[in-house]
Structure 1
């Protein structure tokens, strides 16, 4: 079933049940928007299809998959797309000194290049609708999220890319919103298979690394549906003058999720405050104590 005449449309990437994309689908649907839900395996979206949403296969790391999805959406909507939500993402928790570059490339393929490819491919449909792009970024883009240097770098790339994209698409009437997402209940951190190499310099505090694997799910974590309600409400608001957008219209930057407000406030005081807080919150100060004790023991021998 396609959209009704005059009905707004939204395409969301990464809609597997249990994650942010799935919650966004349900919330946009509840607000009367025709949802085009996508996943690598569309069979997992059967519940959403039963609700009347369109479900399509999409792998944001595969150019042919993106092209096929674009053509299907264009045919479905008559060549327009009101909202594109780039939500598909991949977590990456490893110390910077322990990274495997092939693994890093996979993360950037999904988190960065996939976003770029989707925006480029669907730009014609968005221009036709004078639509909205929502790129799901993270507080990790501006915080020293220890053991997450790769993930931080990928989300930092998305924020910088989005800021320039916003200016480039402004003449065509297309808006770009960046969701600076804090801790939200999701499946992104549910896979705790990452381990420290045996020769890692962080083996001394292995328990800190293991705790960090699920940090986002255990620290001021916001319910997925609450995050979705806030994002969708802002996405569907009318336009306001630039200076008023953050409060009354569709904002350029949406701060939502656990810690979002605190991190936003901290940015006004300089990066030192986030460095100080994250260093202790993650537990790296304990590593300092371990290293000092090791030095002390060496001197005693």
Structure 2
């Protein structure tokens, strides 16, 4: 029973999950990485990491995974990391709700499905659930209303789950991630504003935003710090780590709610949009 097991969802190449499983293995755990069927896994398998298929949006897929893991581990799981996630970048008023529903199915309902199925294994091991959150769940980051909402939902669900599972001796840790060096942004790099959007005056700025390459924390550095918290006997409710988290945490603690409005206004050139909108409205009158 001294062998410890960690399961991490969303371990495709170049992401946080891949870095986390390599770090868990380095710490001596037996690691189970989950990937979509079409995702490459050769590097993980070369490192003797168990790779299994999983679609967190499918209850059948999650149930099949639980049965497999139950046999592999003898019915126990020490760490479950809900990492699988996707992003969707768009203005709130131009949002395609079907795309947002698909994102919530991964970012929010995916962790819910995992915990629903795996809680007996976690209870047996007195294990830890780790939810990979984001500063986006706290900052009203322009063009990120839907993604931010998914992370805010994950944060609060995790907080409540932490309270509920404490009597069952299962710990719940939420990671408030800053900008981490992964490839998640490339999936939205093709996105453009829809024709005739009210935000058309910022079309070029929007394209620059979705193609941006922000300053980031290396994912291996992130993984080392996160795994240390995951394996602690008394992890915090939230663990903040990564580029921008110091500023966000400071503003969240001591700032007033609309301070972000003043910070983000010049960053996203929103004054240009106001001027253009006023000019167009004046022409109509």
Correspondence 1:118 to 2:118: no
Distance 1:52 1:121 in 2: 25
Match of residue 221, structure 2, among 221, 226, 236: 226
Return the alpha-carbon distance in structure 1 between the equivalents of residues 97 and 112 of structure 2. Answer: 20
Q: Say how many residue pairs are matched.
A: 283
Identify the match of residue 210 of structure 1 among 207, 211, 235: 207
Distance in 2 between the 1:154 and 1:102 partners? 14
Inter-partner Cα distance in structure 2 for 1:42 and 1:197: 30
Q: CA RMSD in A?
A: 1.7
1:237 paired residue number: 232
Q: Given the two structures, how large is their TM-score scaled by the length of structure 2?
A: 0.94
| Equivalent in the alignment of 1:162 | 158
Q: Which runs of 4+ in 1 moved over 4 A?
A: 292-296
The residue number in structure 2 matching 1:79 is 75
| Residue 253 (str. 1) matches residue 253 (str. 2) | no
Structure 2 residues not aligned, in runs of 5+: none
CA shift at 1:221, angstroms?
1.4
What is the rounded CA distance, in whole Å, between the counterparts of 2:216 and 2:275 in structure 1? 29
Q: Which residue of 2 is the match for residue 133 of structure 1? A: 129
Structure 1 residue 292 displacement after superposition: 4.3
> Which runs of 5 or more residues in structure 1 are unaligned?
240-249
Change (3 A) 1:179 1:62: same
What does the per-residue CA deviation read over 1:113-170, in whole Å, with 9 as the maximum and x for residues that have no partner?
Answer: 1111111111110000010000011111111111111101111110111111011100
How much does 1:274 deviate? 2.1
Post-superposition CA distance 1:213-264 (Å, at most 9, x none): 144x41x31111111111011112232xxxxxxxxxx211011111111100
Q: Is the 8 A contact 1:60 1:117 kept in 2?
A: yes
List per-residue Cα deviations over 1:32-79 (Å, max 9, x = no partner). Answer: 111100011276112211211111001000011100100111100000
